Structure 1
Amino acid sequence: MKSWWQRWRGRGGATQLDPGRPDLVVVASSFDDAEACSAALGKALDWTADRPVVLRHHLRLPAAQVNAVQVIAAQGGYDTASVSDADPARLVLQRVQILDAVHCSQERSRMAGLAQRHDGDVLGWDALQPAARPR
């Protein structure tokens, strides 16, 4: 039986999206602190609102803080998509969910707080879905 968290993330049995699919493309993004998620999603042309996305947050952190951030983010269902060996490190966290402006904004704020508590910052976010098939 699914927990309430799993049901919310998948919205009641929606097919889970494999973050490793080779046909995923960026359908929405914002790397501007001043841009609201609603504005970024309003500009998204290929985003399908009722389908799951891979939501990725791009962070810059001191290398010594990366593991702590990964552990905390994992508690919220995030996996590490990539991490650089540089210092500061670039860490990309991802999870599959249905995306809307409210939840995007909440997650963006959560990531900003997490990064700030670990002497880092958030560079931006993007959302991936399978590429639209030609008609």
Structure 2
Amino acid sequence: MLSRRAPVRLDRTRHDLVVVVSGFDDAEACSTALERGTEDDPAWVADAEAVLRHHLRLPAEAVRGVVDIASQDGYAPTDDPEPLADGAVVLRLERVQVLDALHCSQERSRMVGLAQRHGGTALGWEGLQPNAAP
């Protein structure tokens, strides 16, 4: 009898992850950013899992609430929030998923709304995948 194993999910804490695509321009569509990512080096691999990382600028006191809400959708903070000179912080939230234009756009909108409801802004997003370079 053959044993079938589920494919191993990408570990978001791997040390060989590199940014393969990003979007920090509100006017740029996710589809455009993803298309650009296929042309860059390292290139985004469309059918492979990626770590989708969002960068949020928030009041420091809002971090716990934002993390609690985002964790319901599988997001986790990358590390401690980065303090800014004005007392705000940059919080980076990420999760593993296959990245496509529709879902990227939905998640970007979700993060914009989440940040705004807590007095902050969404700065942008990145897609990370393992570095395939030798």
Task: Calculate the TM-score normalised by the size of structure 2.
Answer: 0.87
**Segments of 4+ in structure 1 off by > 6 A?**
none
Q: How does 1:73-84 map to 2 (within 5 A)?
A: 73-82=70-79, 83-84=81-82
Residue 51 of structure 2 is matched in structure 1 by 54
Query: What displacement does 1:133 show?
Result: 3.0
Q: Of the candidates 57, 63, 68, which is equivalent to residue 66 of structure 1?
A: 63
Structure 1 vs Structure 2 CA RMSD: 1.1
Distance 1:113 1:14 in 2: 33
Structure 1 gap ranges (5+): 1-12
Q: Is residue 2:22 matched to residue 1:22?
A: no
Q: Of the candidates 14, 25, 28, which is equivalent to residue 35 of structure 1?
A: 28
SS in 1 for 2:127: strand
Structure 2 gap ranges (5+): 1-5
Distance 2:7 2:120 in 1: 34
Cα offsets for 1:18-41 (capped at 9, x unmatched): 111111000000100100000000
Cα offsets for 1:48-91 (capped at 9, x unmatched): 11110000000000001010000000001000013124421100
Residue 106 of structure 2 is matched in structure 1 by 106
Task: Calculate the TM-score normalised by the size of structure 1.
Answer: 0.87
Query: Identical aligned pairs, as a percentage?
Result: 58
